[in-house]
Amino acid sequence: MRPLPFLRILAACACLATAAGAGATADPARGRLSGRVFERASAVPIAGALLRARTGESTVTDADGRFDLEVTAGEVELTIAAPGYESLHLTEKIPAHLLRTVEYRLLPQDVGARPRYQTIVHGRSAHEGERFVLREQELLQVPGAAGDPFRVIATLPGVIAPIPVLPIYVVRGGTPGMNGFFLDGMRVPQLFHLVFVDGIVHPRILERIDFYPGTYDVTFGRNASGVVDAATRPARTDARQHGEVELRLYDSSLLAEVRLPGGVQVLAAGRYGYPAPIIHLVDSRVDLSYWDYQLRVDWQGLTAEALGSYDSLTIAQLPTGRTNAAAQLLVEFHRLQLRERTRRGRLELETALVGGLDRMSIFSGEGVQKLALAARTGARLHLKSLTLFAGIDGELSRFSGENFQVDQPRAAPDELGELAGNRDGIVGGAYVQGTLSIPRLGGHPATLTAGVRADLYHAGAVTLLGVDPRVLFRYAPREQLEIFGGFGQYSQAPSFPVPLPGIDTFALQLGLQRTLEGSLGARVGLPRDLSVSATAYYGHFENINDVVLDYQGAACTSPPPESLSGVASYVTRQVSGDGYGLELLARRQVGRLTGWLAYTLSRAERLYSCGRAPSDFDQTHVLNGVVQARLPRRLLLGARFNLQTGRPYTRLQPDVATGTFSGSRNNERLPTYLQLDLRLDREWIYQRWALALFVEILNATYSESIYGVTFPKDPVLMVTRYDQPQFQGFRWVLPSIGVRGRF
Amino acid sequence: MLALALPLTAAACTFEWNDQKVPFPLVGDPPALSGFQKLNHVPASRAALLTGSDGAPWAAFCEFWSGRLGEGGGLGGSIARNCKRMHLTRMGESPWVGPGCGRTCVAALSTDEIIDADGFALHGRELYQMRDDAQALTRTVTLHRPGDPAAADASFTMPAGRALLYTNDDGAADVFVYWVLDPATTHYDVYRRDHRYQLALPLPAGIDPTRPEQAAGFDFLLSADGSALVVHQPSGRMTAYSTLDGSARELGTRPPAFVLDNLHDAVLTVGEDGFRSVPLSDGPDLVLAPTGFDPATLTLASGAAYYASGGSLWQVPLDGSAAAAAIAPGGARLLTLGPHGEIVYSRDPGTRYAGGAGDGWLGDGRLMERGRLLRFGQDGARVLFLEHAATIGTYGDLTSVALPDGAPVTLGLNVHAYRELPDHRVLAVENAVYAGSWNRLVVIDQAAGTKHWVVPSTVDFVLLPGAQDLIADVVSGASGYDILRVPVPVPP
């Protein structure tokens, strides 16, 4: 590989030292070259780099990137090479009998040469099941994600974002409230800031995101739909410190990493959002702010971490006129976790203690606060061909109704109903699972995983128990072909339609939600680093908590649960139904042109009071395409398009003779939605730091996000015109430009 | 795999232990709606009750479909606003009593009136009909008593346009103020059904004729019988006008907060000069209390005034026979009086919670945490109220507390409306966080510990005099209601 011209000056910092100080060489025709090899734009030493002189002498850098090479004096042509870096070729002038001290910096290879996203159905994860693994720097540069890795989930098979721009996801026909979010093993109420595009964790501290659309193993519990399992990384140890600053139009973030003596690694990150000036261009009454923070300290398998997230949406005056006071929606949560991971022979142990504070208040000032203490432990025993995994976890929580705006007149604390009731909650689970590896089943490798978990929920006078058995298998009849599948039960306590902090372990009298799901899929590896996977799934939902999207057109909707009141009663519907479909994924992971094409053909149905009908979230076709092209000069150009069938809604027909309206629920659909996102990244790498500039346009097509359907009141007839639905939506485009510096 | 799948699927299960007490579980099946008398012909608005000229109750409801969709015509979303067709049905003797009667019998006994107009207003014994003449730019206001022939109606011709209509409130509603909400309006008038006199009063200077309710310091009230109109001018001058002959009596300069004491034919004023009773006829002021208070806390009941001042609830007889006395330390407003004079009050101001919800106290004992619609049982032995009703909606948990210090008993959840029957059973519309076909009317017998169906899909009801029948508003189709006459179930 030809070195870039400016690499020729890499040795500029080289200096001479006298042989007296370094010791004289035995051969008067030879000299010494000593120094270190670093990665460019950072203080990361490169271990294992090979230095080879054309005359044949060579050496390899140690763990600190140091080397010492004796060569023939004179002009020496050198090659420095290391995996993952562009090789450096240069000529050094080595004086006889002298030591020359140098520092070389290698340019990291363009990321296109490295493996990227992987669709993995097996691997070294702590969890079994079909999952999509998202890793590496590219997570931050996927177009349409606004730099937030969690947003990439929306582009994966099986996922529907029913209201584009809002981070609300429906997985395999379930409801948003049935999804589970885990961060470093902790259960967290949300992964996104509610009212803008960012995740609640600094993107660059995420080590991986695993997305399980369904049929996962028993190590995940208390969720009846998809699971997102994210992990942060410890502070890097390849240098004493790292830092990063990112500035965007609407927020700024900081990241600092330090390696302390004694093997202590400290990482701190945070973000502060200030989108109000942008929002004021649209509506001056609305103020929005958000922030998050993360602190992680690692030492010898012990990890202490603290993280939190805050969102505030203030509207100067509610249009209802119920109050003249400013109305505020406040959502925040904080977590403190102490975790230890050890390995003793064939036994792996992980134990964690978690404290949590959640707060949420709605516009009228009433809210709920949750204090929680959780613990979990899991043990994995590796035997010859069998891996046994068992664990327990639980949480004690205290919920209290709060009025965070004490001066609010005409407060409506009972509007939150059961959500705000003072109560203590106990949830706990235990699981056991075995994974049997069969090296040669019919001559080919296979694994079988079977397990069962039990989860107990208690609050007030109600106790619920769910027993969920699950089975998964993998089989590779050909080297490039793998077949996988599984089935099981996934139960969950009643949930709010949209996950919110402090809203859980409530209304247990509604009984457990239950999903019985099975899936079968295959993955084929193709030439040119292409792979294709297909998964068929079927899920049967019982007693799940659906949400009413169209309050007024709620003909044929199921009645609100009798035992609930307030908001929970408004938005919760207990229904049963089914979800089934086919997920296709084609992707290219390596090369200058990478990306994936994800298509989901699905059907989600509910048994409404007047019969079976499409779910409010049913969207038959969802197609996502992501393409990234690595251009010269470290330019990365990306595009993402999303095409999805519109959600169903209800249009009733008037009967003039009887004066009534009639019709089936969800008998029509919103318009098909198309969104195109574009992103361009450019990075300049200097000796000790790097500067990146990125420009992104979300929804360059200026498509309309429709969040609901209303029916007008006829001003003459004074009747609700269920035959004249009006779409409630907004057209939007979100340009983003930012600059990021790192060292 | 299949062999493994079957036992595993069989092992998948859930269990529930629920010690939560369900208040009075509903027993039986909902009765068929076809078993009741349907009063409306097409989907209607909710029903109200009028009193006919013969004293019988009449159900009044707006019927929608006088025209076709999109072609105008007449539908009414509420009982009066924008209603184009009013349907009145006489509710005579209960036809359900006695053998051989029933639905057919009911229909035969019914008397109906169908009235078309451009607008309606219902007041006690009077149906106000508005008919516009686009050519003459006039509006005819007709007062009709249900059951009366048209010849007995009283009509008045007014200028066209939006107007404010305000009637006296003794039930007869035979005197009314009519104010045309037009910039050109220079006066407002008081009309009497008997046409005995028409009082015309000029608008005070500076008043926006289109927004009289926003005029600071300006207000007027009709006495219950309509014989007098008391007007408070922005200047503070207060005048009592006779609607019988137009004579006027100056009442002097008074504070803007005032109510009428119909029992003593006086005006009650609250201001810096204290709480005063100003007679409409000759006589000096009666100072009921030397200092003023927040007039929003004032309640008149059983010949006395109750108000909050200085952190206590005060009581003073309106005839001035006794000095004002603090009767409840901490009290912020009166909630209700018991049959034996018991005073139930709230320590929460009426503006603290939505819908006026608040706590309820009897002496030093708290009956209610955050409720509304507190009423005494007919024998005074218990109170009923909607608990935890600080909601934007109009519902709460129907709760009964035996006096003096019984424990609260929840009779129904998410109750929107309730009435106690003479036999102490309680009719309630429950499961009504918001209106829909899931609302239902039930009858609860607390003593027997039972709850039975009365009418399904009922969002509201009116109990007819005598408590033998009721009128139920039943959700019908996607828009509008069916109005059913339903017998009150007899105790099993």
Q: Are A684 and A146 in contact (CB under 8 A)?
A: no
| B438 dihedral zone (left: phi>0; alpha: psi -120 to 50; beta) | alpha
Parallel/antiparallel/unpaired status of strands B57-62 and B85-90: antiparallel
The lowest-confidence range among A70-79, A458-467, B80-89, B404-413 is: B80-89
Q: Is B117 helix (H, G, I), strand (E, B) or coil?
A: coil
Residues of chain A with C-beta less than 8 angstroms from the C-beta of B353: 410-413
Least CB-CB distance to B8: which of A322, A471, A508?
A: A471
Q: How far is A391 from chain B (nearest CA, A)?
A: 19
What single-letter amino acid sits at B390? A
Q: Does B292 touch chain A (CB under 8 A)?
A: no
Asked whether the beta carbons of residue A659 and residue B477 sit closer than 8 angstroms, the reply is yes
Paired residues of A612 in beta bridges: A607
pLDDT band at B76 (very low <50, low <70, confident <90, very high): very low
Alpha helices in A264-316, H assignment, sequence order: 276-280
Q: Does A453 touch chain B (CB under 8 A)?
A: no
What single-letter amino acid sits at A476? A
Q: How far is A452 from chain B (nearest CA, A)?
A: 9
Residues sharing a CB contact under 8 Å with residue B396, sequence separation 6 or more, in sequence order: A414, B357, B371, B372, B373, B385, B386, B387, B388, B389, B414, B415
Residues of chain B with C-beta less than 8 angstroms from the C-beta of A660: 43, 476-480
Chain A CA closest to residue B348 = A410
Q: Does B86 touch chain A (CB under 8 A)?
A: no
Least CB-CB distance to A452: which of B11, B42, B352?
A: B11
Q: Does A491 touch chain B (CB under 8 A)?
A: yes
What single-letter amino acid sits at A659? G
Q: Does B43 touch chain A (CB under 8 A)?
A: yes
Alpha-carbon gap, residue A513 to A493, rounded angstroms: 6
Least CB-CB distance to A414: which of B43, B370, B438?
A: B370
Alpha-carbon gap, residue A590 to A111, rounded angstroms: 9
* Closest to A228 in 3D by CA, of A169, A298, A277, A140: A169
How many H helices and E strands in chain A? 3, 45
Asked whether the beta carbons of residue B353 and residue A411 sit closer than 8 angstroms, the reply is yes
Among A361-375, A405-419, A576-590, B471-485, name the most confident range.
A576-590
Give the A window 266-325 contacts with B, CB below 8 Å: 322
Q: Does B211 touch chain A (CB under 8 A)?
A: no
A152 burial type by CB count under 10 A (0-12 exposed, 13-18 middle, 19+ buried): buried
Q: Does A469 touch chain B (CB under 8 A)?
A: yes
Q: Are A334 and A307 in contact (CB under 8 A)?
A: yes
Percent of chain B residues past pLDDT 90, beyond the cut: 72
Q: Are B440 and B30 in contact (CB under 8 A)?
A: yes
Alpha-carbon gap, residue A216 to A132, rounded angstroms: 12
Cis peptide before A275 (omega within 30 of 0): no
Least CB-CB distance to A661: which of B72, B82, B478?
A: B478
Paired residues of A491 in beta bridges: A514
ipTM score assigned to the predicted complex: 0.84
Interface test with B, best of A406, A414, A462, A658 (most B CBs within 10 A): A414
pLDDT band at A295 (very low <50, low <70, confident <90, very high): very high
The string of pLDDT tens digits covering residues A200-249 is 999 889 888 889 999 999 999 999 999 999 999 899 877 788 899 999 98
Alpha-carbon gap, residue A532 to A584, rounded angstroms: 7
Q: Is A130's pLDDT higher than 80?
A: no
Q: Within 13 Å, how many C-alpha atoms sit on residue A393's CB side?
A: 23
Q: Are A181 and A220 in contact (CB under 8 A)?
A: no
Alpha-carbon gap, residue A474 to A523, rounded angstroms: 11
Asked whether the beta carbons of residue B12 and residue A487 sit closer than 8 angstroms, the reply is no
Q: How far is B272 from chain A (nearest CA, A)?
A: 26
Chain B CA closest to residue A664 = B478
Chain B CA closest to residue A511 = B16
Mean pLDDT along residues A171-196:
90
Residues of chain A with C-beta less than 8 angstroms from the C-beta of B43: 658-660
Residue with tokens 């969920």, as numbered in its chain: A468
Q: How far is A662 from chain B (nearest CA, A)?
A: 7
pTM: 0.82
Q: Are A632 and A618 in contact (CB under 8 A)?
A: no
Q: Does B77 touch chain A (CB under 8 A)?
A: yes
Q: Are A552 and A490 in contact (CB under 8 A)?
A: no
Look at residue B9 in the predicted model and tell me its pLDDT: 67
Asked whether the beta carbons of residue A467 and residue B370 sit closer than 8 angstroms, the reply is no
Mean pLDDT along residues B192-202:
95
Q: Does A411 touch chain B (CB under 8 A)?
A: yes
Q: Does B68 touch chain A (CB under 8 A)?
A: yes
- Tokens representing residue A58 in the block: 């060579």
Percent of chain B residues past pLDDT 70, beyond the cut: 90
Per this entry, what is the length of chain B? 492
The lowest-confidence range among A145-159, A258-272, B299-313 is: A145-159
The string of pLDDT tens digits covering residues B61-75 is 988 644 433 333 332
Least CB-CB distance to B413: which of A464, A563, A654?
A: A563
pLDDT band at A549 (very low <50, low <70, confident <90, very high): low
Give the A window 353-372 contacts with B, CB below 8 Å: 364
Residues of chain A with C-beta less than 8 angstroms from the C-beta of B65: 656, 659
